[in-house]
């Protein structure tokens, strides 16, 4: 009798395991083969839609990224040639893992898409969608970024950027400058500086101070336990904790297991999800404790809390989003600037000349020089920044958009529920919009320069949609004014105050880039 029950039980177990296995195989085949192939087939019938000739199952668009990395290039290098391959098509089909997407590519398509935001196209409402709530988005879970543009969400977004916008961001110049001075002093004490790390530390510290309080300096250097991927516990201060955690979430977001088993991503039951979640919970509670200590009435946290319009939790989540959105985008752009200026020495000389002409020289009176009025006079610097953001935008595409209704873009029907992205880097290398796009040439942004005139004579004239670094439309980057200001202050301070060298082999190599997700980190020697 016992024997019979065991046999029956084993048989049932075997049967249900086999059924579960078959069901899983059917599910994966459906999601990883049928859905993307059907998506490709559907869009292949439109002449203005680009569908890659070859279907790479599962890996899809990840494959060329891996090829780039394996060949020592930035993972998005292949995308620079994308526009040329597409032959002027408006839309591209993007197939990878479980979620096929549409890439909005041509200027015409971006213009049409931007006009549909937010009534028909908007941020995906992803707060409870574990398929889309991945990577860095988990870090700022609950922030306004994870919701479509309701009145309340739009108001939240607007409130922060009133304090970080064109008219108000000048109040933050002293904080930026103070951190730049401190950072330079520290860098001078080291023989060689790992530049990406150093600049990232500085921009994150600037942001923590502005957002949470200038009286938190001591708290920011206290060390906390951080669980590392090799199972040990590291001690990091809050800024390094943040940097490591965010990188861990970016890696988690790109992890194939996150793509294939999104439920594990939601449940956080195994590593790396479990470890990251534990670190994130610790980070959030330390940050909350820190907020209780801050008495700085000028901090964004304090000013927004005073409005009594939003819950403390919402403000907290939004500020985490803002540090995430603004810290490393700025640091990566600044490192890129240092790199391209060394690669193009005549541009560096021209920039130094402009800075000197306006009084930004070594030993100048910093408080007197660094006013909004003086900074705005630096025209060539603004062209240099524009060019950095063109040649090496810190984000290769916008964030996700979602069709809330059936729409048409450039006469291509896009049904409700489709996920979309707006291309950034492909457009920045489009030869029909940019003359010699592989050349770092700030003059292209100066309408009175010979280069811009030559370009115009050849019929190559970029328009507002040719520049995509900050996106377009109502959900485009709200931090653009702040980013430009911080980049200007950093450049106007650092360029006259230090001389540096970049390893020769880096300067001669093609495909180097510093966008988020890359790990180029050259050693800079300060002379
Ligand atoms: C060079 C610097 C920066 C670049 C290139 C950049 C680029 C972008 C891009 C491409 C997007 C996506 C837009 C879209 O999906 O259409 C975005 C979104 C965003 N950025 Fe930036 N950004 C930069 C700096 C900043 C700064 C300094 C802040 C904060 C002060 C910031 C805050 C945000 C936020 C909060 C969003 C999400 C907006 C929303 O969902 O409504 N960014 N950024």
Using one digit for the tens of pLDDT, what is the confidence trace for 134-177? Answer: 888 888 899 999 999 999 999 999 999 999 988 888 899 999 99
Ligand 1 atom closest to 483 (CA): 27
- Please work out whether the CB of residue 479 comes within 6 Å of at least one atom of ligand 1: yes
* Ligand 1 geometric centre to CA of 325 (Å): 5
Residue 326 Cβ contacting ligand 1 at under 6 Å: yes
Which ligand 1 atom minimizes the distance to the CA of 207? 30
Q: Output the CA 469–ligand 1 centroid distance in Å.
A: 9
Question: Exposed e or buried b for every residue in 103-119, given b needs 16+ CB within 10 A?
Answer: bbbbbebbbbbbebbbe
Q: How far is the CA of 126 from the centre of ligand 1 (A)?
A: 18
Backbone angles phi and psi of 362, in degrees to 5: -55, 130
Read off φ and ψ for residue 513, nearest 5 degrees: -155, 160
Interval between CA 479 and ligand 1 midpoint (Å): 6
Q: Which whole number is the average pLDDT over 454-464?
A: 97
Residues 6+ apart with CB under 8 A from 448: none
Rg (Cα) of the chain, in Å, rounded? 25
- Mean predicted confidence (pLDDT) in 283-309: 92
For atom 9 of ligand 1, which residue has the closest CA?
470
Q: Which residues pair with 523 in a beta bridge?
A: 194
**CB distance 125 to 109 below 8 Å:** no
460 CA → ligand 1 middle, Å = 28
For the beta sheet containing 500-501, the strands, ordered from the edge strand earlier in sequence to the opposite edge, are 192-194, 523-526, 500-501
Asked if the bond preceding 272 is cis, omega within 30° of 0, the reply is yes
Mean of the per-residue pLDDT values of the chain: 92
Q: How many residues does the chain have?
A: 527
User: Is 397's pLDDT higher than 90?
Assistant: yes
169 ligand 1 Cβ < 6 A: no
517 lines ligand 1 (CB under 6 A): no
Task: Determine if ligand 1 sits within 6 Å of the CB of residue 477.
Answer: yes
Ligand 1: nearest atom to the Cα of 149: 41
Model confidence at 11, pLDDT cuts 50, 70, 90, reads confident
* Average pLDDT value for residue range 21-33: 86
Whether residue 327 has its Cβ less than 6 Å from ligand 1 = no
Q: Which atom of ligand 1 is nearest to the CA of 318?
A: 35
Q: Please give the pLDDT value at position 24.
A: 83
Query: What's the Cα-to-Cα distance from 375 to each of 123, 333, 382, 486, rounded to whole Å?
Result: 34, 18, 10, 10
Q: How confident is the model at residue 303 (pLDDT cuts 50, 70, 90)?
A: very high
Beta-strand relationship, 419-422 and 401-403: antiparallel
Ligand 1 centre from 395 Cα, in Å?
9
Residue 401 Cα: closest atom of ligand 1: 15
Q: 18-32, 390-404, 453-467: which range is least confident on average?
A: 18-32
Q: What is the pLDDT of residue 8?
A: 82
Cβ 476 under 6 angstroms from ligand 1: yes
Coil vs helix vs strand at 456: helix
Ligand 1 binding pocket includes 148 (Cβ within 6 Å): no
Reported as a pLDDT band with limits 50, 70 and 90, residue 1 is low
| pLDDT at residue 20 is higher than 90 | no
Closest Cα to atom 40, ligand 1: which residue? 145
CA separation for the pair 381, 379 (Å, rounded): 5
Whole-angstrom distance, CA of residue 57 vs CA of residue 407: 28
Which is the closest atom of ligand 1 to the Cα of 400? 15
Residue 521 has pLDDT above 90, yes or no: no
Mean pLDDT of 287-314: 92
Is pLDDT at 253 greater than 70 in this prediction?
A: yes
Sign of the dihedral defined by the CA atoms of residues 317, 322, 328, 331, in that order: negative
What six digits make up the tokens of 297?
A: 């009435």
What pLDDT, on a 0 to 100 scale, did the predictor assign at position 62? 84
Q: Is 143 in the pocket of ligand 1 (CB under 6 A)?
A: no
Atom 43 of ligand 1: nearest residue by CA position: 477
Cα–Cα dist 350/451, whole Å: 15
- Do the beta carbons of residue 86 and residue 105 sit within 8 Å? yes
Nearest atom in ligand 1 to the alpha carbon of residue 473 is 16
| Poorest-pLDDT segment among 64-73, 343-352, 409-418 | 64-73
**Hey, which bits of 2-60 come out as E strands?**
49-50
Does the beta carbon of 118 sit less than 6 angstroms from any atom of ligand 1? no
């Amino acid at each position: 009798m016992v024997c019979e029950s065991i046999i029956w039980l084993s048989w049932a177990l075997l049967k249900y395991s086999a059924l579960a296995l078959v069901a899983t195989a059917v599910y994966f085949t459906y999601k990883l083969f049928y859905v993307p192939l059907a998506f490709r087939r559907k869009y292949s019938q439109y002449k203005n839609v680009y569908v890659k000739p070859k279907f790479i199952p599962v890996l899809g668009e990840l494959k060329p990224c891996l090829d780039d990395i394996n060949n020592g290039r930035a993972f998005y290098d292949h995308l620079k040639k994308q526009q040329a391959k597409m032959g002027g098509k408006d839309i591209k089909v993007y197939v990878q893992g479980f979620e096929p997407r549409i890439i909005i590519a041509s200027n015409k398509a971006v213009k049409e898409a931007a006009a549909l935001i937010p009534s028909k196209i908007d941020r995906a409402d992803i707060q409870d969608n574990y398929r889309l709530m991945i990577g860095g988005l988990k870090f700022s879970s609950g922030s306004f970024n994870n919701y479509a543009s309701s009145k309340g969400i739009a108001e939240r977004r607007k409130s922060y950027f009133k304090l970080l916008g064109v008219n108000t961001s000048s109040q933050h110049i002293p904080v930026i400058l103070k951190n730049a001075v401190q950072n330079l002093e520290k860098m001078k004490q080291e023989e060689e500086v790992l530049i990406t790390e150093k600049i990232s530390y500085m921009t994150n510290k600037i942001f923590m101070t502005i957002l949470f309080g200038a009286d938190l300096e001591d708290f920011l250097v206290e060390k906390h336990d951080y669980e590392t991927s090799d199972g040990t516990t590291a001690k990091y201060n809050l800024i390094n904790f943040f940097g490591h955690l965010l990188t861990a979430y970016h890696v988690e977001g790109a992890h194939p297991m996150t793509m294939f088993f999104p439920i594990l991503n939601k449940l956080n039951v195994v590593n790396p999800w479990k470890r990251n979640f534990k670190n994130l919970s610790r980070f959030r509670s330390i940050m909350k404790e820190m907020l209780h200590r801050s008495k700085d009435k000028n901090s964004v946290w304090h000013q927004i809390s005073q409005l009594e319009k939003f819950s403390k939790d919402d403000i907290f989540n939004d500020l985490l989003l803002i540090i995430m959105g603004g810290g490393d985008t700025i640091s990566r752009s600044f490192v890129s600037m240092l790199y391209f200026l060394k690669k193009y020495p005549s541009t560096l000389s021209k920039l130094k000349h402009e800075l000197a002409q306006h009084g930004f020289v070594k030993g100048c009176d910093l408080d007197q020089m660094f006013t909004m009025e003086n900074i705005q006079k630096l025209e060539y610097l603004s062209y240099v920044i524009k060019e950095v953001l063109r040649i090496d935008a810190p984000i290769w595409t916008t964030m996700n958009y979602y069709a809330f209704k059936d729409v048409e873009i450039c006469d291509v029907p896009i049904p409700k529920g489709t996920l979309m992205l707006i291309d950034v880097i492909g457009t920045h290398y489009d030869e029909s919009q940019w003359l010699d796009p592989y050349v770092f040439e700030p003059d292209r942004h100066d309408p009175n320069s010979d280069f811009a005139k030559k370009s115009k004579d050849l019929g190559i004239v970029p328009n507002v949609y040719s520049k995509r670094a900050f996106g377009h439309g109502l959900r485009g980057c709200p931090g653009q004014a702040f980013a430009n200001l911080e980049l200007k202050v950093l450049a106007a301070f650092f360029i006259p105050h230090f001389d540096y060298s970049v390893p020769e082999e880096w300067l001669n190599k093609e495909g180097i880039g510093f966008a988020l997700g890359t790990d180029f980190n050259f050693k800079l020697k300060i002379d």
